[in-house]
Amino acid sequence: MKAMVLHNPMAVDRRPLAPEAIDVPRPGPGEILVRVNMCGVCRTDLHVVEGELPVLRSPLIPGHQVAGTVAERGSAARRFTVGDRVGVAWLHDTCGACEFCLGDVDRENLCTAARFTGYSADGGYAEYATVPEAFAYRLPDGFSDQQAAPLLCAGIIGYRALRVSGIKVGQRLGLYGFGASAHIAIQVARHWGCEVYVFTRNEANRRLAAELGAAWTGGSNHPPPAKMHASLIFAPAGPLILDALDVLEKGGTVALAGIYMSTVPQMDYTRHLYDEKVLRSVANATRRDGEGLLAVAAEIPIRTETQVFPLYEANEALLALKTGGISGAAVLDCTEASGN
């Protein structure tokens, strides 16, 4: 099969992903082999490829927003049949035995031995990928693979961030950064009856936010007309935390929805955190988050804005993501796997 393989992390403008022909992986017990049709391009992929996250596997096939079909079942795999449409997300599997797996189902994302698709296990920048069937998702009807791919991380992590923020009907929600996750989260928040304020420097993203129902758009240095009851930060820029806390209502929550963030500046306790404000991270997501997001996506239905690249242009897709050249989400067409 054709795959885009990472051997040594480096700046994406140096083209760290190499097209290679490798053997099709075989599904083990309880696993399925997925024919990858589309794979979303996530900012986490960029952090992996550029070495901002520790190297856990080399060589590595990145990609963790897989939409495709079941091509083969391993022994004891019975949940899906060959030909079923499935999705694969960031959480590849968990140990099932630690305190986080055995306790509240909403904490399996903190499993001490979890593996992650496209990071500690090979992912979807390829024609085929394997996944434990218990961690695959049945894709809802009404979404093409191109539309579904961004839901599988950008959508799921945004959904979890919304949940942990505690945002309620009629309240004001701030979104910092307006890329793949935020353009899905705004649709869920509007469906829940929230008023959404979008903070982004990019004019194209401001226009998209307005089209999707934002009550206000501006830069993080532009004071909004009211304070936020909760805010989600998707952009990996530490200084945004202080900006968000500055315009947060008393008792509100700022949820950090990225896996990586630049250094957070020193903050003033009285100015930024007093009045029972909450600052919290969002680490990965659970299968319950995935099922919940896919259900609400079908109910709304969510509209994903995508820009499609052939698989062999994965470096170019990541570079466009890094430089702000993507409005919505980038997706790799893994059925177009030729190229040099």
Burial of 292 (0-12, 13-18, 19+ CB in 10 A): middle
Cis amide linkage into residue 301, ω under 30° from 0: yes
| Of 174, 273, 278, the residue nearest 233 (C-alpha) | 174
- Of all residues in the chain, the percent with pLDDT exceeding 70 is 99
pLDDT at residue 156 above 80?
yes
Tell me the C-alpha to C-alpha distance, in Å, between residue 8 and each of 5, 40, 61, 173, 311. 9, 21, 12, 39, 19
Whether 166 contacts 230, CB under 8 Å: yes
Strand pairing report for 228-233 and 216-218: unpaired
Residue with tokens 């304070």: 227
What is the structure's pLDDT at 337?
A: 67
Residue with tokens 């600052």: 279
Whether 227 contacts 203, CB under 8 Å: no
- What's the rounded mean pLDDT across residues 23-43? 98
Please work out, in degrees rounded to the nearest 5, the angle formed at the alpha carbon of residue 91 by the alpha carbons of 85 and 95.
120
* pLDDT level of residue 338 (50, 70, 90 thresholds): low
What is the structure's pLDDT at 339?
A: 53
Higher per-residue pLDDT: 103 or 10: 10
Whether 108 contacts 94, CB under 8 Å: yes
Q: What is d(CA 331, CA 15) in angstroms, rounded to the nearest whole number?
A: 18
* pLDDT level of residue 187 (50, 70, 90 thresholds): very high
Which parts of the chain are beta strand (E)? 2-6, 17-21, 31-41, 66-73, 85-88, 91-93, 115-116, 128-132, 136-138, 172-176, 195-199, 216-218, 228-233, 248-256, 278-281, 306-310, 329-333
Beta bridge partners of 21: 2
Tell me the C-alpha to C-alpha distance, in Å, between residue 69 and each of 74, 87, 168. 14, 8, 37
pLDDT tens digits for range 60-98? 999 999 999 999 999 999 999 999 999 999 999 999 999
- What's the rounded mean pLDDT across residues 300-307? 96
What is the structure's pLDDT at 274?
A: 96
Average pLDDT, the chain: 96
- What's the rounded mean pLDDT across residues 213-240? 96
Strand pairing report for 172-176 and 2-6: unpaired
- What's the rounded mean pLDDT across residues 35-42? 98
What is the structure's pLDDT at 340?
A: 45
- What's the rounded mean pLDDT across residues 139-168? 97
Tell me the C-alpha to C-alpha distance, in Å, between residue 289 and each of 31, 93, 221, 237. 21, 15, 32, 25
Strand pairing report for 172-176 and 195-199: parallel
What is the structure's pLDDT at 6?
A: 98
- Of all residues in the chain, the percent with pLDDT exceeding 90 is 96
3-state secondary structure of 300: coil
Q: What is d(CA 66, CA 82) in angstroms, rounded to the nearest whole number?
A: 16
Neighbouring C-beta atoms of residue 86, cutoff 10 Å = 21
Among 26-40, 167-181, 239-253, 323-337, whose mean pLDDT is lowest?
Answer: 323-337
Delineate the domains of the chain, giving CATH numbers in brackets.
2-150+302-333 (3.90.180.10), 156-281 (3.40.50.720)
Give the containing element (helix H, strand E) for 183: helix 180-191
What is the structure's pLDDT at 104?
A: 81
Which residues are within 8 A (CB) of 212 and not within 5 positions of it... i.e. 6 or more apart?
183, 186, 187, 190, 303
Tokens standing for residue 44: 């986490």
Strand pairing report for 17-21 and 85-88: unpaired
